[in-house]
Structure formats: C-alpha cells, structure tokens
Amino acid sequence: MVPEKLINEFVERMRGAAGTNLLAAILYGSAAAGDYVADYSDVNLLCVLGETSFASIEALAPAIEWWGKQKHRVPLLMSAKEMRRSADVFSIEFLDMRRHYRVLWGEDVLKTLEIPMRLHRAQVEYELREKTILLRQRLLMVSGKDEAKWELLLRSLPAFGTLFRHALIALGDAGAGSKREAAAALAGKLGIDASVFGELLDIRERKKDRKTAQVDEVFARYLKLVEGVTAAVDKMLDPAA
C-alpha cells in the first residue's frame, strides 16, 4: 500500500534539484513502521540539507510541486545543524522518527542525533493541550456533518496516540510499542477508560464498520478521553498545580 515507486521518483527529483546540498532523504512514520493506511496516513519524509538559503530552497520548488500533485504533504526540510540545535525542543518528533524510519538516500543522520530530554515533559503537555483545543474547534466546524466528524476523529488518532506514548515516557514508563498499547497502558496508569481509542483504531484499520456506531456518542467518549488524559498528565507531572 505504501507508494514506493512515487517515493523513489521524488527522491531522484530532489537529488537532481538539490545536488550536493541534499545530505539525506528519510522516510519515517507509518509508511516506515508498516501500519500505513492509504486513506488516512501521510507519507512522511525528512530531507536534510547542507544549507537552507532562499536560493537553495527555491531550487527545490519543481520537485516539491511535483510531489504535491501526487497528493502528498510537503516533506520536512531542515539543515543538519538545525536538527542538532533543535533536538531539545522537538524531542517528541525526533524520538518518534527514530522509532521507525528508513534512509532512502544519503547519511543516517537520525542514528547519531542526540536528543536531550530536559524539555520533553513540557512539550508533551503543550501538545496535548493544543491538540485538544484544536479538536474542539474543528468539531464546531463540522457540526451536523456525520461524515466530516468521522474524518476528524480518524485523522486525529495518530497524533493523540503518539502523545499517549510520550505521556507514558514522561511518567517514567518506557513507552508501549504501538499506539493501541500505549493508550491502554496510559489508561491503566491513570484510571481512565480508553476503549474508544481502540474502537476508532479498528474502524481506521477497517476491522470494524463505522456504520455500526453512532458518531456523536463516539466523539463524546473520545473528547472525554483526551481531556481526561491531558488533565491527569498535567496533575501527575505537576502535583503542586
């Protein structure tokens, strides 16, 4: 299901456009982990550059435009120095990249990247709060539209699943393997019902027909879950609050 041919063509186009300025092209996320779902998953690519001047970025425009026409999101563009200097504030992102990735071309820059954890706890809470607020805002935008509500629910799962795993890490756990396992483990630690997360994953993975469920009831349980996790993580990580 992963569009390997398109990915390989994009890498060749990037190499042609960037020349020696392209240090690495890396596939990460679901397409590298083996749980890619064509209707919902993104093809996540990291392109590491030697320098990111206006001229060097402009040179990549034809390759990026072609990739966009294939209906894939723009890759993450960073310089090698930028990666090293920002690893502390992007600890969640880089830790997750390093869990599942494949070097398509060039250097294995993730293998040697040092990821400081001193800001990890704050980033986990920030991301949980931000995504919970965005979920509420987007719910208002799709009010009365059942199909749009399902899309919103199913597309939000990977982000919250990632944050559930990092909440476990922040609480001193090693972090469960899959998003499903992480949600269950965190729920057990916090005393929260996370069954709706597994139900939604079953629908996303086509193990369950969403016609058998009421979207408003599912959304209410899901919103209660993410709000409960956010509040509980905040309290456990900051007992004085």
Instruction: Give per-residue pLDDT as tens, 109-164.
Output: 999 999 999 999 999 999 999 999 999 999 999 999 999 999 999 999 999 999 99
Same domain, 82 and 139: no
In a domain? residue 95? yes
- pLDDT at residue 239 greater than cutoff 80: no
- β-bridge mates for residue 46, sequence order: 26, 76
Q: pLDDT at position 178, please?
A: 83
Mean of pLDDT values over 195-214: 94
CATH number for the domain harbouring residue 21: 3.30.460.10
Do 34 and 139 have their domain in common? Answer: no
Name the residue with tokens 């563009």. 77
Helix and strand element counts for the chain (H, E): 11, 4
pLDDT band for 176, please (50, 70, 90 cuts).
low
Query: 133 and 228: one domain?
Result: yes
Token pair recorded at residue 69:
């026409």
In whole numbers, what is the pLDDT of the chain averaged over residues? Answer: 93
Residue 91 and residue 166: Cα distance in Å, rounded? 10
- pTM for the model stands at 0.85
Give the pLDDT band of residue 175 (cuts 50, 70, 90).
low
If asked whether residues 150 and 210 sit together in one domain, one would say yes
| Residue 114 belongs to some domain of the structure | no
Domain enclosing residue 81, as ranges: 4-106
Can you give the pLDDT at residue 237? 72
Cα separation, 195 vs 218, in Å, equals 10
CA distance 129 to 168: 16
Give the pLDDT band of residue 39 (cuts 50, 70, 90): confident
Record the tokens describing residue 213, joined without a space: 């469920």
Cβ atoms of residues 161 and 175 within 8 Å = no
235 has a pLDDT exceeding 90: no
Rounded CA separation 154/138 (Å):
13
* pLDDT band for position 66 (cuts 50, 70, 90): very high
34: confidence class by pLDDT, cuts 50, 70, 90: confident
| Residue 113 is assigned to a structural domain of this protein | no
The number of folded domains in the chain is 2
